[in-house]
Structure 1
Amino acid sequence: MFSLFTKVKSISTTELANQNLNQVVLLDVRSPNEFKSGHIRQAKNVPLSKIAQYEGNRNELYVICQSGMRSKQAAKQLKKKGYDVTNIRGGMNQWSGKVIGGK
């Protein structure tokens, strides 16, 4: 049964920073241009518009965007597909760790 109120786990960017990022799958659902402007090294760019086609490891996924809104939408779609997914609240706006790319 489909529910508009699909509950998705979420963590803060601080909690994400405490994870071993080499051990998790981190999807960045921002546009390719946003991704190029600066992203977390381990992140894989899968824009929200393409998230429905995502086929990947069913282990725990972490999803991030700029503010947390698009990643929440993406997380709900992935959860419906059977993924164990966690949304990153606050997104890149709140991320204080290292980023690559950008100017």
Structure 2
Amino acid sequence: MNEISVSELAAVSAPSIIDVREPDEFAGGHVPGAVNIPLGQLQGSDLPEGPVYVICELGGRSARATQYLAGQGVDATNIAGGTTAWREAGLATTQD
């Protein structure tokens, strides 16, 4: 499984990020530009074009989602440590 750290992700220009947390978790703060597709709704969802980066709160759900997407032929990369690691690195979140 492909995996990237939050600091490596922060250096990617215009990444397509899928946040697989539930809507209430997503609303509480997320990586800017992330699209919320809860893990339970991932199958059959429209995904962004090209490679996608998958995030959750700590990394467990996003790891499962990344494995699923990779099995579907999607170029998916898990974000290690999730939104928690993003915040701990001092990176900004947004609420929208």
- TM-score w.r.t. length of structure 1: 0.84
Letter of the 2:11 partner, please give it: N
Aligned residues: 93
Q: Does 1:100 align with 2:91?
A: no
SS at match of 1:75: helix
Moved over 2 A (4+): 54-58
- TM-score w.r.t. length of structure 2: 0.90
Q: Is the 8 A contact 1:58 1:83 kept in 2?
A: no
Spell out, residue by residue over 1:34-83, the C-alpha distance to the aligned partner (whole angstroms, 9 max, x if none). 00000112100000001112232441010000000000000011111110
Identity of aligned residues (%): 37
Q: Is the 8 A contact 1:67 1:91 kept in 2?
A: yes
Q: Distance in 2 between matches of 1:14 and 1:51?
A: 25
Structure 2, gaps ≥5 residues long: none
Q: Distance in 2 between matches of 1:56 and 1:27?
A: 8
RMSD: 1.4
